Structure 1
Amino acid sequence: MRHAKAEQDGPTDFERPLADRGRRDAVEAGSWLSAQGVEPAHALVSAALRTQQTWEAVASGAGWSLAPDLDRGLYAAGPETALDLVRLVPDAVTSLVVIGHNPTVGVLAQVLDDGSGDAAVAASMAGDFPTCAVAVFSYDGAWADLGEGTARLEAFHVGRA
């Protein structure tokens, strides 16, 4: 998932908060995820303020009480580094939510897709990966083995309130 709409300014880019619209959109995305039956066992979230606030709003909308694993490295990570962070998730974790930044999460979603899912869903994700975009994948394997073209794209949604 890409973080929701943030304010243009903050003390630093890392400290930019969500805009009011972003909070509403993230709550809607959480409601949508809950309706899809997504129940994460782990949340890997960039430590930037806007991603933390996105997680809080998504979790609120979904009714989740899971504490996130805040990772400062995910803030500046490129797609390969973000994938490396996911590969470190313990295999006991059966469902994972990742909230990060673009272009990293958009590129990562594209490269993980094995192409076996609904072509219309893949087409909706192609190109732009806007704020509050959520790609839902299924994957049956060890996190350490996750790689290009190894996960099935099940759904794509852009949270908008």
Structure 2
Amino acid sequence: MKTLILLRHAKSGWDDPVARDFDRPLNAKGMRAAEAMGRHARAIGLTFDRIVASPARRVQETMIHFGEGYGTALTPEWDRRAYLASPGTLLDLVREQPETADRVLIAGHNPGLEELVLDLVPEGADERLRVLVEQKYPTAAIAVMTLGETWAEVASGGGRLARFIRPRDVDPSLGPDRD
């Protein structure tokens, strides 16, 4: 059974004057949230064999802070296709994963991540968690899905949403409208 872990980048700084969206950094709350989610991932025993991530600055910084919380430096494969990717492009990335990897983490952006979860997990399945994803896939949130036996055969409706963890679930001070 393959496990797909989707991590949305942490909260970025819109007030930072950068020329390109690609270069937008995390803000202080985002740094705290990424580290807290890394600590929580380690505490619940969430592991991954491989990481694929958007090379956008906010994702790179998320991976640094998530790794600090997790307790190890992470070494993602930076894939430009993951930057603001559609669910179709993300599904292509999933299907390309080596079969030797059983647990893959993909770090990226919304709305693609949210739409991928909703595409892979059929309506009526894992209803409570799926409804939370439908409501909002907030920054630094993690979705954990179990899929089939091979990455190449991952298809719409073929997943099970095992966990959906938001920063506010880990630390209420990281909830909406709080800095």
Could you state the TM-score of these two structures normalised by the residue count of structure 2?
A: 0.83
Contact 1:134 1:158 in 2 (8 A): yes
Which letter does structure 2 place at the counterpart of 1:129?
Y
Q: CA deviation at 1:63?
A: 2.0
Residues 28 and 67 from structure 1, CA distance in 2 versus in 1: closer, same or farther, beyond 3 angstroms? same
Report matched runs for 1:1-161 at 5 Å: 1-8=7-14, 9=16, 10-114=18-122, 118-160=126-168, 161=174
Could you say which residue in structure 1 is the equivalent of 2:4?
A: none
Contact 2:90 2:112 in 1 (8 A): yes
Contact 2:146 2:160 in 1 (8 A): yes
**Looking at CA atoms only, which structure, 1 or 2, has the larger radius of gyration?**
2
- Determine the C-alpha separation between the residues in 1 that align with 2:95 and 2:145: 15
Aligned residues: 161
- Determine the C-alpha separation between the residues in 1 that align with 2:124 and 2:102: 21
Counting aligned pairs with the same residue, the percent is 35
Q: Report the aligned-residue RMSD.
A: 1.6
Contact 1:116 1:153 in 2 (8 A): no
- Determine the C-alpha separation between the residues in 1 that align with 2:124 and 2:38: 25
- Determine the C-alpha separation between the residues in 2 that align with 1:101 and 1:81: 12
Contact 1:117 1:154 in 2 (8 A): no
Which letter does structure 2 place at the counterpart of 1:12?
R
Deviates more, 1:47-56 or 1:26-35: 26-35
- Determine the C-alpha separation between the residues in 2 that align with 1:44 and 1:70: 6
Secondary structure at the residue paired with 1:156? Answer: strand
Secondary structure at the residue paired with 1:145? Answer: coil
- Determine the C-alpha separation between the residues in 2 that align with 1:44 and 1:132: 16
Which of structure 1's runs of 4+ aligned residues deviate more than 4 A? Answer: none
Q: Which runs of 5+ in 1 are unaligned?
A: none
Contact 2:63 2:74 in 1 (8 A): no
Q: CA deviation at 1:116?
A: 7.3
Could you say which residue in structure 1 is the equivalent of 2:177?
A: none
- Determine the C-alpha separation between the residues in 1 that align with 2:118 and 2:66: 22
Secondary structure at the residue paired with 2:48? Answer: coil
Q: Which runs of 5+ in 2 are unaligned?
A: 1-6, 169-173, 175-179
Deviates more, 1:120-129 or 1:103-112: 120-129
Q: CA deviation at 1:118?
A: 3.8
Could you state the TM-score of these two structures normalised by the residue count of structure 1?
A: 0.92
